[in-house]
Structure 1
Amino acid sequence: MVFAPLPSAAAWRHELSRDGFEVAYFHVDGSGWRLIGCTTAVEAGQTAVVSYDLIVDAGWATRRATVALQSESGARRLLLESDGHGRWRIDGERAPLLDGCLDVDLESSATTNTLPVHRMQLEVGEQAEAPAAYVRMFDLSVERLEQDYRRIADADADADADADSGSREPRPTRAGARYDYRSPAFDFECVLVFDESGLVLDYPEIAVRVA
């Protein structure tokens, strides 16, 4: 699947797992893209402001991620760098635990799910593993996160409402490209819906696109 170019900006409301809001801006950077954004959120009584500046190459592999955290415990900053072939450095130090990862995944962000779907360009019925350098929201610790995506039939704008888990009222299925997403470490599975630019429209229990 070939996506349309990214818009200049997008925004999400984070819900259920946390209360918050995220805004991101997208810029062409050479033959790749630069994604700059910020999330403000409250989760389990903790507050955080996380800003990020990501650079991806022409193949959508993450090459550099600068992440900054402001929380009640103070300010922290993280630098992730990759050669684009699965070798990483964390704040300048080699990080073998991330070998083979091509994407960064920020716990605080709905934007970073854009990276693997662009990079893999799956057609309907295709599936691929997408291990990522996963950055925790409240301490910027980094771990390896195994996950996989399977492209399924696109959502129809006139589809019936799907019931979400939890206490919310069901909301209509949003039209777009759909992927079965699975993260074994969190025992989590859902259907992610993306727009024509490969940005998340609906991330069940996590975030919904508002602009």
Structure 2
Amino acid sequence: MEVAWSSLDWPGVEHVRWSDHEGLRVDSNAVVAFPDGAARISYRIETAAEGATTWVEVEIARQHAVRRLAVSGDGLGAWQDETGVPMPELTGCLDVDISSTPFTNTLPVRRLGLRPHQAADLRVLYIRVPELELSVSAQRYTRLDAADGRETYRYESAGFRADLPMDEHELVLDYPRGWRRERA
């Protein structure tokens, strides 16, 4: 499947291809014009069949330089860098959140399978773009569902809150003050 979003914060667009066969396989490319210069952002994510992230790779090309970050997980919350060095500071993270994309909100939503009015508190591997800074983020997802029956999730983290309407594949339609879904 394919999906695209336009950025509402800066000129840019993201195009994502994904498949769901015994886990998600996601490939994304985005071109954005940040206030300090344009960038090409690419990422690849793989999940286990039950939804936990097992691989993430992010590449940023900007100002004649290319930088890359890649980590792998066992699907149970243990992580290592691409050379095999354990990363105990990430222990317990089952999902990844890349700051420059609405797609990664899909990962915990699909994995958790929340019912209306259910909530879950998560420890998430967070990748800040364009800096490629890796940290752990405390996040909360609550399934609200809109009056029209559309699945809607409240995302909360570090004082930020957004209600995210989803489509039938649990992909974000619109990310308030961030992204708008386009036809792909």
Q: How does the TM-score come out when normalised to structure 1?
A: 0.81
The 5-angstrom pairing of residues 1-211 of structure 1 reads 8-16=1-9, 18-29=10-21, 31-72=22-63, 74-92=65-83, 93-156=85-148, 176-184=150-158, 187-211=159-183
Equivalent-residue separation in structure 1 for 2:131 and 2:141 (angstroms): 27
Aligned-partner SS, 1:112 = helix
Deviations 1:170-209 (A, max 9, x none): xxxxx7311111111xx21111111110100011011111
State the Cα RMSD in Å.
Answer: 1.5
- Structure 1: gaps (5+ residues): 1-7, 157-174
Equivalent-residue separation in structure 1 for 2:78 and 2:103 (angstroms): 22
**CA 1:152/1:28 → structure 2, altered by over 3 Å: closer, same or farther?**
closer
Equivalent-residue separation in structure 2 for 1:94 and 1:189 (angstroms): 32
Deviation at 1:44, TM superposition (A): 2.5
Equivalent-residue separation in structure 1 for 2:128 and 2:145 (angstroms): 31
Given that residues 155 and 177 in structure 1 are in contact (C-alpha distance below 8 angstroms), is that contact kept between their aligned partners in structure 2? no
Equivalent-residue separation in structure 1 for 2:69 and 2:23 (angstroms): 22
Aligned-partner SS, 1:153 = coil
Paired residue type of 2:7? H
* 1:165 equivalent in structure 2: none
Aligned-partner SS, 2:105 = helix
Q: How does the TM-score come out when normalised to structure 2?
A: 0.93
Equivalent-residue separation in structure 2 for 1:153 and 1:139 (angstroms): 34
Given that residues 11 and 209 in structure 1 are in contact (C-alpha distance below 8 angstroms), is that contact kept between their aligned partners in structure 2? yes
Given that residues 179 and 192 in structure 1 are in contact (C-alpha distance below 8 angstroms), is that contact kept between their aligned partners in structure 2? yes
Equivalent-residue separation in structure 1 for 2:169 and 2:101 (angstroms): 17
Equivalent-residue separation in structure 1 for 2:178 and 2:91 (angstroms): 27
Equivalent-residue separation in structure 2 for 1:64 and 1:151 (angstroms): 26
Given that residues 105 and 133 in structure 1 are in contact (C-alpha distance below 8 angstroms), is that contact kept between their aligned partners in structure 2? yes
Deviation at 1:43, TM superposition (A): 2.2
Deviation at 1:71, TM superposition (A): 1.0
Paired residue type of 2:172? V
Deviations 1:37-74 (A, max 9, x none): 11111222332111011111111110011211101161
* 1:161 equivalent in structure 2: none
Deviation at 1:107, TM superposition (A): 1.1
Deviation at 1:11, TM superposition (A): 0.4
Equivalent-residue separation in structure 2 for 1:46 and 1:182 (angstroms): 29
Identity %: 33
